[in-house]
């Protein structure tokens, strides 16, 4: 932990204590508007049935931010991530001068899938579902504990190994963007919304974003275009869908020093999702299908299907000699499809206890097929997560217990960190 991170953590603890003890002390108001400090701490313990993985305590998320309003017509927000490598997450300004219509500019979540837009403090499970995690740049709650087991096989391990490769090889960064379709980005969006009493009955959003990801300037003229629609006829019953059209890659066509295909290029992608979420009379239910169609960037990293690899280095002879390209199988196929879905159901039970107001038993099924065109290396993933949420004070303080059963660990090439027991404690203000 760096000295700067330690200082930020100390500030976070002081702010969290102050919010619990002094309440409105963290809200500053005057005639021109108001400012409110907010934050989140999540820490977990993970126990892996996989013998090669290390059981560990870990800081999952540590965030500190501020929201505010100026002259009742302008909202703004800033959010910093302080764990691991501190970075800016959100920085946006929203204009509300037209009734029912808002304009937002800055770095923010793109209006994409339901689960991706759910606050991490309000997730009913410790980690995101498989399809969401895959398109969020391999977001994995227990990723650090798996650092010694990245290449144990299966697509999940491939994602984590890929992220590790990128972190040590900046020239591969643009390939990383292929997995970060659901993420924050810099751009602008317009939101049309109709309110009914204390909930939003109808919402329609459209936006245009750089498409280069978080904290990055654009390096090309291509942009990501995103649309989202939500309908809530009754409070707590939501129907939603989204569509994204954009491109990924890099404009620079750098020649590979090994004489193979160009290192970078641009290809189009289309991402789509739709589903239903219900939070009504204690019932907590949601399901969402998420898909994406993307073009191949033809080079040795994205074209290759590996057989019998004995080395993980891209420049070693086994890598090149045993490489089989996808174009050999289907030279006319310029792209491939990714598809996944999740569904969960839980029920919130009032306990009448002063120490925890509610408990919620919950279960989720997840499926992901990163490439519908091939079943090479059995890349499909399926898993069940059994959970128990103990709400000490709604989502402000809660304990989450999860058991993740990876259902496709029947062989040595299909194990994805085996099964995991996790416990996470959260405090938020």
Structure letter (DSSP) for residue 173: H
Q: Give 57's strand partners.
A: 45
**How many domains is the chain partitioned into structurally?**
1
Structure tokens at 337: 């499809």
* CA 103 – CA 192 distance, rounded (Å): 9
Q: How many CB atoms lie within 10 A of CB 258?
A: 11
Residue 316 has pLDDT above 90, yes or no: no
Q: What is the mean pLDDT of the chain?
A: 76
Structure letter (DSSP) for residue 414: T
Residue 330 has pLDDT above 70, yes or no: no
* CA 415 – CA 374 distance, rounded (Å): 19
For the segment 81-122, what is each residue's pLDDT rounded down to a tens digit? 987 778 899 999 999 999 999 999 999 999 999 999 998 899
For the segment 270-301, what is each residue's pLDDT rounded down to a tens digit? 999 999 999 999 999 999 999 998 876 554 44
CATH number of the domain residue 208 falls in: 2.40.160.10
Q: Is 361 exposed, middle or buried (0-12, 13-18, 19+ CB in 10 A)?
A: middle
Q: Which domain holds residue 201?
A: 3-428
Q: How many CB atoms lie within 10 A of CB 396?
A: 15
For the segment 42-78, what is each residue's pLDDT rounded down to a tens digit? 999 999 887 777 888 988 899 999 999 998 899 999 9
**What pTM was estimated for this model as a whole?**
0.77
Residue pair 140/133 in contact (Cβ under 8 Å)? The answer is yes
Considering the chain, what percentage of its residues have pLDDT values greater than 90?
Answer: 43
């Amino acid at each position: 932990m760096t000295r700067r991170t330690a200082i930020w953590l100390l500030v976070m603890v002081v702010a969290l204590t102050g919010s619990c003890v002094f309440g409105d002390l963290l809200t500053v108001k005057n005639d021109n508007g108001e400012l409110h400090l907010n934050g989140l701490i999540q820490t977990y313990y993970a126990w892996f049935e996989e013998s090669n993985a290390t059981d560990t305590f870990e800081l999952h998320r540590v965030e500190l931010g501020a929201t505010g309003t100026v002259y009742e017509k302008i909202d703004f927000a800033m959010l910093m991530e302080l764990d691991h490598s501190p970075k800016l997450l959100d920085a946006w300004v929203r204009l509300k001068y037209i009734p029912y219509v808002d304009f937002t500019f800055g770095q923010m979540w793109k209006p994409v899938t339901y689960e991706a837009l759910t606050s991490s403090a309000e997730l009913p499970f410790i980690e995101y579902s498989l399809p969401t995690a895959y398109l969020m740049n391999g977001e994995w709650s227990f990723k650090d504990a798996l650092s010694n087991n990245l290449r144990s096989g299966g697509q999940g391990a491939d994602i984590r190994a890929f992220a590790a490769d990128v972190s040590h090889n900046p020239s591969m960064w643009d390939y990383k963007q292929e997995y970060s379709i659901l993420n924050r980005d810099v751009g602008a969006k317009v939101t049309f919304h109709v309110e009914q009493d204390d909930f939003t009955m109808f919402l329609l959003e459209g936006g245009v974003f750089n498409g280069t990801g978080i904290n990055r300037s654009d390096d090309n003229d291509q942009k990501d275009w995103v649309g989202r629609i939500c309908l809530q006829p009754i409070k707590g019953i939501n129907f939603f869908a989204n569509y994204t059209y954009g491109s990924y890659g890099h404009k620079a066509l750098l020649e590979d020093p090994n004489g193979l295909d160009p290192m970078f290029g641009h290809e189009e992608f289309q991402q789509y999702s739709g589903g239903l979420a219900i939070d009504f009379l204690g019932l907590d239910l949601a399901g969402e299908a998420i898909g994406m169609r993307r073009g191949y960037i033809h080079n040795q990293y994205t074209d290759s299907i590996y057989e019998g690899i004995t080395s993980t280095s891209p420049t070693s002879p086994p890598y090149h000699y045993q490489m089989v390209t996808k174009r050999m199988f289907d030279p006319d196929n310029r792209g491939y499809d990714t598809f996944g879905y999740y569904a969960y159901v839980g029920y919130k039970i009032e306990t009448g206890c002063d120490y925890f107001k509610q408990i919620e038993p919950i279960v989720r099924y997840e499926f992901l097929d990163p490439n519908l065109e091939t079943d090479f290396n059995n890349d499909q993933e399926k898993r069940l997560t059994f959970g128990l949420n103990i709400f000490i004070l709604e989502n402000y303080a809660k304990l989450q217990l999860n058991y993740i059963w990876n259902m496709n660990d029947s062989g040595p090439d299909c194990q994805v960190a085996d099964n995991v027991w996790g416990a996470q404690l959260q405090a938020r203000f």
